Amino acid sequence: MSNSENLIKISVLIAARNEEDNIERCLTSLDAVNFPKENLEIIVGDDDSDDRTAELVQNFIKDKPHFKYIKIASQLAELKGKANVLAHLAHHASGDYFLYCDADIAVKPTWISEMRAHFKPKTGVVIGLTRMKHTHLLADLLSMEWLFALSTMRFFSLFKIPITGMGNNMAVTREAYFAIGGFEKIGFSIVEDYTLFIGVVRQGYDFQMAYKPEVLSISEPVNTFPELLKQRKRWMHGVMQSFWVTRLSLFVSSLIVPICLLIAIWYPIDALSSIVQYYVLITGISLLSIILLKQPDLWKAAFLFWFYMVSIGLIMLVNYYLPSKTVWKGREY
């Protein structure tokens, strides 16, 4: 690491609410990063947790001065939830770069240095990579979904077409964050990562995609289908607010198979051939993703991913339009 990089000050910002099952894993991984501790601060914002999150964090950091714990007890600019926590943490942070990860994430030792390396003079935001912990088939399909989406984002980023941010693995410059007025100016959104990302891009800053295994973080997966539906209800708000390319991709991937099956009533060979070609295309992209990102344990999920994708896309659309509230971290929005 060069002398100039040793002077860089990094702030890692973590919003935590009722994360007693995950927070120690996250903090342990952050404590192991290969970045000078004297140039690093890791700030955990406790969003009114009513479990053992506060106790676990404070016990972990008591002999680690580069960690800070902050209890979030007030509201900024009518913000709620994670957006409010991150807005508070930005004012406590002293770094030139703000790196974001979730409390259920484990980062690699190379995460900070590799994310920092993607910042160029005009770059305001860098998007990293995330997959799920290898625990069961649903987790592997979710990992494949993340890597497929991130690979698609990588493709569009080569043409400077912004898609979305990823709040569990993202970085912004301090300059860019405060240039857009922070979360206070952006306003509340249940998909705060998208609003931050798009706000920085619309301010005229460049964005980069850190598409390499060294920045790939590991998240805890949802373990049941009802949990997945709750998660996707929130995510769909972000999709529907995003660029037309993202919205179009969702509708096409969700409806193309039902449409082909209807066409097959009159033209069976052509329609079924299209479905087979679609499967080959999606599976090919999936396999390429796990090869480029060196995730060989997902090869079985790559061959099954198409079936999952065409099903979950349709389910997400139906679930989004159903008249129900969005529940996130025990709160209704």
Domain match, 217 and 306 both: no
Mean pLDDT across 22-34: 97
Domain match, 190 and 72 both: yes
Domain match, 56 and 103 both: yes
| Sequence-separated (6 or more) residues with CB below 8 Å from residue 33 | 40, 107, 109, 110, 111, 112, 113
Q: Which residue has the higher pLDDT, 325 or 168?
A: 168
pLDDT of 44 reads 98
Q: Is the pLDDT of residue 4 over 50?
A: no
Q: Which residue has the higher pLDDT, 170 or 321?
A: 170
> Using 50, 70 and 90 to split pLDDT, how confident is the model at 243?
low
What φ, ψ does residue 130 adopt, rounded to 5°? Answer: -145, 145
DSSP state of 74: S
Q: Is the pLDDT of residue 1 over 70?
A: no
Domain match, 202 and 235 both: no
Domain match, 306 and 281 both: yes
Note whether residue 144 is domain-resident. Answer: no
Note whether residue 83 is domain-resident. Answer: yes
In the listed set 223, 240, 272, which residue is the last one of a domain according to the structure?
A: 223
Note whether residue 133 is domain-resident. Answer: no
pLDDT of 2 reads 41
* Residue-level length of the chain: 333
Alpha helices, DSSP H only, in 212-295?
Answer: 225-241, 244-263, 268-292
Distances (CA, A) of 103 to 5, 38, 232, 303, 307: 27, 23, 19, 31, 30
Domain match, 239 and 211 both: no
Domain match, 36 and 177 both: yes
Domain match, 236 and 194 both: no
Q: Are 28 and 104 in contact (CB under 8 A)?
A: no
What type of residue sits at position 168? N
Mean pLDDT lowest among 84-93, 158-167, 258-267: 258-267
Domain match, 51 and 119 both: yes
Note whether residue 98 is domain-resident. Answer: yes
Mean pLDDT lowest among 81-90, 96-105, 126-135, 218-227: 218-227
Q: Are 311 and 29 in contact (CB under 8 A)?
A: no
* 206-225 pLDDT tens trace: 999 999 999 999 999 887 77
Q: Which residues face 44 on adjacent strands?
A: 14, 69
State the burial class of residue 276 (Cβ atoms within 10 Å of its Cβ: 0-12, 13-18, 19+). exposed
Q: Is the pLDDT of residue 114 over 60?
A: yes
In the listed set 193, 223, 253, which residue is the last one of a domain according to the structure?
A: 223
* 139-152 pLDDT tens trace: 999 999 999 989 99
Note whether residue 154 is domain-resident. Answer: no
Q: Are 145 and 316 in contact (CB under 8 A)?
A: no
Note whether residue 159 is domain-resident. Answer: no
What φ, ψ does residue 245 adopt, rounded to 5°? Answer: -60, -45
The whole-model pTM stands at 0.87
Mean pLDDT across 159-175: 92
Domain match, 187 and 241 both: no
Number of independent structural domains in the chain: 2
Domain match, 16 and 78 both: yes
Which domain, by its residues, includes 84? 3-128+166-223
Domain match, 185 and 245 both: no
Note whether residue 148 is domain-resident. Answer: no
Note whether residue 245 is domain-resident. Answer: yes
In the listed set 223, 240, 270, which residue is the last one of a domain according to the structure?
A: 223
CATH for 79: 3.90.550.10
Mean pLDDT across 176-188: 93
* 265-309 pLDDT tens trace: 777 767 778 888 889 999 999 999 999 999 999 999 999 999 998
